[in-house]
Amino acid sequence: MKEKTKRIYKGFGSTCVHSQVDLHKAVNTHTEAIYPTSTFAYDDANELMQIFKGEREGYIYGRWHNPTVEMAEKKIAALEAWNLKNEKGEQLELASKVFSSGMGAISALFLACLKPGDKVITQGTLYGGTNALLHQILEPINIVPVIIELKNLSLVEDCLKKDSSIKMIYIETPSNPTMDCYDIEALNSLAKKYQCICAVDNTFATPYLQQPFQYDVDFVLHSTTKYLNGHGTAIGGVLLGKDISFFNKRIIPVLKLIGANGNPFDAWTLIQGMKTLELRMERHCLNTMKVAEYLQGHSEIAHVNYCGFKSHPDFALIKKQMKNYTGMLSFELKGGLNAGIEMMNNISFCTLAVSLGTADTIIQHPASMSHLPVPKEERLKFGITDGLIRLSVGIENADDIIADLEQALAKN
Ligand SMILES: Cc1ncc(COP(=O)(O)O)c(C=O)c1O
């Protein structure tokens, strides 16, 4: 079996399929092996001692590392670094750790990089769980979120200038569920100017459409539950870092000690999912364009938030930092809250659920579902109106998705 693990491929799709096929091939399996083991056994005490001391490579305990999980980590690192060079002009190498969930990865990032007294600047249109983590878990231990409009770069700079306790800029772009986009390059430059860490949640875009490390950010994270897995078979997260020694010293101990490690079976489903990432994203994007165009002209719909419309307020930025417009959109029903609930009850082909990025089309109504706990005046500030519907457009045939939306809207 030829050594494939270190190869660099010309194409993103080839990297999806071939990178890090199997680190530990004992027999000639075609696909990667699952190593369902809690610990790793040795005959020789010296060998284990040397591994503990870091003098030789090897596995010790399943909460710390696992070969199947490592294969997933290496594949995601290869995708986020695809076609990117380091300052010496060599292929960029990234540190990468898989977590039990996207929230596990985000928690480890904050806990490893911030201490009581530190602040983190971020946007209002943030995934609800991240927002709740900041307010409910971190703020009580004096790690304080500063929520501002990240599109207003002079406001961001003013805050950084005035407050040296701000240690991180945390960006989610495109954002959930309004599809607002933020300038990764400009925000990272401000972060660097004021000695801050810059981290990007790349869940909505995936490394196929957007590579934040291109702009030299410090960390990228994903809820792998979404597009990277792509089939809705497991909850998971990943955190990747550019500074490998910082990652080893700070992130990995947090992962080990909070115990938010990914497991071998979920990592295996993630590896299989990522092999088709390029193909799936192409289809998600194509279908979403068709669905967005259909919804745009509908008499029951006030407006559509979609990255691919020239009328999107961030269209110039989207063209610059993204390769395509994602499989996500949201739209506002003129009939408000009741129209939203009604539409959810009338959907039949699309799946009524609160995740995204899967092969099937998923629809949800934030005001009555994901954002129910957020006070109305808070969610309205960030465009999450009563009639807003979020759609994760799947890889089915667009005609079937549109037909379902059409029949559900006709009953409204
Ligand atoms: C943009 C984004 N980031 C993070 C998360 C959290 O991921 P998980 O549910 O895998 O913990 C989600 C979940 O929906 C999300 O949409």
Give the pLDDT confidence of 74-115 residue by residue, as tens digits. 999 999 999 999 999 999 999 999 999 999 999 999 999 999
Q: How far is the CA of 299 from the centre of ligand 1 (A)?
A: 32
Cβ burial 221-233 (10 Å sphere, 16+ → b, else e): bbbbbbbbbbebb
Burial of 327 (0-12, 13-18, 19+ CB in 10 A): buried
Average pLDDT over residues 5-14: 83
**Residue of 219, 221, 226, 355 to mutate, ligand 1, most atoms within 8 A of C-beta:** 226
Nearest CA to ligand 1 atom 2: 127
The closest of 182, 139, 171, 178 to 370, measured between CA atoms, is 178
**Residue of 223, 239, 266 to mutate, ligand 1, most atoms within 8 A of C-beta:** 223
Nearest CA to ligand 1 atom 14: 355
Q: How far is the CA of 15 from the centre of ligand 1 (A)?
A: 24
Distance CA 6, CA 90 (A): 13
Distance CA 113, CA 243 (A): 13
Q: How far is the CA of 222 from the centre of ligand 1 (A)?
A: 7
Q: How far is the CA of 226 from the centre of ligand 1 (A)?
A: 8
Q: What is the pLDDT of residue 1?
A: 43
Q: How far is the CA of 103 from the centre of ligand 1 (A)?
A: 6
In degrees, rounded to 5, the angle at the alpha carbon of residue 68 between the alpha carbons of residues 64 and 70 is 55
Distance CA 282, CA 275 (A): 13
The closest of 104, 89, 399 to 266, measured between CA atoms, is 104
* Partners of 197 in beta bridges: 168
In degrees, rounded to 5, the angle at the alpha carbon of residue 295 between the alpha carbons of residues 231 and 179 is 60
DSSP secondary-structure letter at 92? P
pLDDT at 405 over 80: yes
Q: Which residues have CB under 6 Å of ligand 1? A: 101-103, 127, 129, 172, 176, 201, 203-204, 223, 225, 235, 237
The distance between the two most distant Cα atoms of the chain, rounded to a whole number of Å, is: 74
The beta strand positions in 218-366, using DSSP E, are 219-223, 237-241, 301-305, 328-333, 351-352, 362-364
Distance CA 175, CA 388 (A): 14
**Ligand 1 atom closest to residue 172's alpha carbon, by position in its atom list:** 1
Neighbours of 23 (CB within 10 A): 14
**Residue of 109, 110, 125, 127 to mutate, ligand 1, most atoms within 8 A of C-beta:** 127
Q: What is the pLDDT of residue 372?
A: 82
pLDDT at 27 over 90: no
* Partners of 241 in beta bridges: 95, 219
Distances (CA, A) of 384 to 300, 336, 363: 18, 11, 15
Q: What is the pLDDT of residue 211?
A: 98
Q: What is the pLDDT of residue 4?
A: 54
- Which residues, 6 or more positions from 211, have their beta carbon under 8 angstroms from its beta carbon? 80, 81, 82, 83, 84
Q: What is the pLDDT of residue 19?
A: 83
- Which residues, 6 or more positions from 225, have their beta carbon under 8 angstroms from its beta carbon? 101, 102, 232, 234, 235, 236, 237, 355, 357
Residue with tokens 């972060």: 191
Helix 336-346 / helix 398-410 crossing angle, nearest 10 deg = 130
DSSP secondary-structure letter at 100? S
Per residue in 190-213, pLDDT tens? Answer: 999 999 999 999 999 999 999 999
Per residue in 118-166, pLDDT tens? Answer: 999 999 988 989 999 999 999 999 999 999 999 999 999 999 999 999 9
Distance CA 332, CA 347 (A): 16
pLDDT at 52 over 80: yes
**Ligand 1 atom closest to residue 103's alpha carbon, by position in its atom list:** 11
Domains located in the chain, CATH noted: 12-274 (3.40.640.10), 277-410 (3.90.1150.10)
Q: How far is the CA of 130 from the centre of ligand 1 (A)?
A: 8
pLDDT at 370 over 70: yes
